[in-house]
Amino acid sequence: MTSVLHFQELEPEIVLLRMQDRVHKNTFSKELIDGLMDAFEAIQASHTYKVVILTGYDTYFASGGTREGLLAIHEGREKFTDKNIYSLALNCDIPVIAAMQGHGIGGGLIMGLFADFVILSRESVYTTNFMKYGFTPGMGATCILPRKLGISLTEELLINSGTYRGAELEKRGIPFPVLPRTEVLDHAIDLAREIAEKPRYSLILLKNHLVAPIRKELPAIIEQEVLMHEKTFHQPEVRERIHTLFGK
């Protein structure tokens, strides 16, 4: 699709999407955003694919907004809703597996959690660090985190910007496989092959049924997140924090 997103048909019914923006460490650069949106559009247009695997490269899964993107929101030039990548997996007709072999940071973690199946790495870091910069969460974080991880861990992640290794989350009892980094993708491929054994029509019908409540409630939650951004994102302190803390 683009140089930063590799689209591969592992098998006729299985697609592997590998995010590999090495220059920006898989932050949401324009190239990566466009690549993801084009890839999922192509997947939706197919009548063959049954399952998608979304993964990163080396030690990075996805790292959230770029410094320039965060500053653009601070200055009122953009909103995170301008290009909806956070719910690409949710809105995809067929099941999506997030093989999060590397760090999942901010919106990068949230994008992964919108997948139907999530696999984490023991060594990698997972955090929703919105409040670290002084602004309230976006990307649908306040919708998907409580559903996937429960309210207590969600409050730690969102209010306190908690940072956890996959091994720590495993001890907290999260409901996802947590494996050594080198095993994450292989596990995802095995799972994809099991899913691909099922009839495509039945997979689509069942996924649509299972995620319907999230699809229904998400727009109202996004609207509330945007309203909170309008109250929190434009503070002078936020700009200072973005400049001094980004990447640390």
Alpha-carbon dihedral sign for residues 61, 219, 94, 205: positive
Mean pLDDT over each residue of the chain, to the nearest integer: 95
Q: pTM for this one?
A: 0.95
What pLDDT, on a 0 to 100 scale, did the predictor assign at position 220? 97
Which residue segments constitute the domains of the chain, with CATH numbers given? 5-180 (3.90.226.10)
Confidence check: pLDDT of 164 > 90: yes
> Average of pLDDT values for 140-166?
95
- The residues that are catalytic are 229
What pLDDT, on a 0 to 100 scale, did the predictor assign at position 8? 96
Distance CA 77, CA 121 (A): 36
Confidence check: pLDDT of 2 > 70: no
Confidence check: pLDDT of 120 > 70: yes
